[in-house]
Amino acid sequence: MGSTDHGSVDVYLGLGSNQDPARHLLSGISALAGTFGEVSVSPFYRSAAVGFSGSDFLNGVARIHTDWSVGQLKAWLTELENRHGRDRSQPKFSDRSLDIDILLHGEQTGMVDGLELPRDEILKFAHVLQPMADLAPELVHPVSGRSFAEHWASFEGDRNLSRIDENG
């Protein structure tokens, strides 16, 4: 039931890294800005690795504005991750130099270009929901009809995150 509107939309991206994270995340954000112009970025949070034993992750959310389709953007992000040394031979839950996921692409819902939108990780994990609520508290989740601030206020999962200040 994905929308076919090809106008320019706000896209929210989940950013994560647990390998030299400050360098990889800043480089990734810089690449986004170089291609899409202005990038709004949430605070970043440190959280334990999910699904495997590894170094803590730094996670945040970025907002870009683009008229690219989900498929075009996904291909570009995959290439960006590859340029940052992303090892795709590893299991789904493993160390990441740079991980960028499309969380929301405008108002699109359902299966779009092979991705389920909005990403279910948003409402499942504090390391995605908290920065989403920071960046866009009044934005309404296109399926639940509730704002991200409301979702965060009622979140019952593990909230064990520590906010990273500008100094690391």
- Give pLDDT, residue 3: 43
- Give pLDDT, residue 6: 54
d(CA 154, CA 5): 32
- Give pLDDT, residue 81: 93
Model confidence band, residue 166 (pLDDT cutoffs 50, 70, 90): low
Rounded average pLDDT over 49-69:
91
What residue spans define the domains of the chain?
9-116
pLDDT digits (tens, 9 = 90+) for 97-149: 999 999 999 999 999 999 999 999 999 999 999 999 999 999 999 999 999 99
- Give pLDDT, residue 4: 46
Model confidence at 2: pLDDT above 70: no
Model confidence band, residue 93 (pLDDT cutoffs 50, 70, 90): low
Please check whether the domain covering 9-116 is classified as CATH 3.30.70.560: yes
d(CA 39, CA 167): 20
DSSP string, 15-62: EEESSSHHHHHHHHHHHHHHHHS--EE--EEEE--SSS--PPEEEEEE
pLDDT digits (tens, 9 = 90+) for 3-53: 444 579 999 999 999 999 999 999 999 999 999 999 999 999 998 887 778
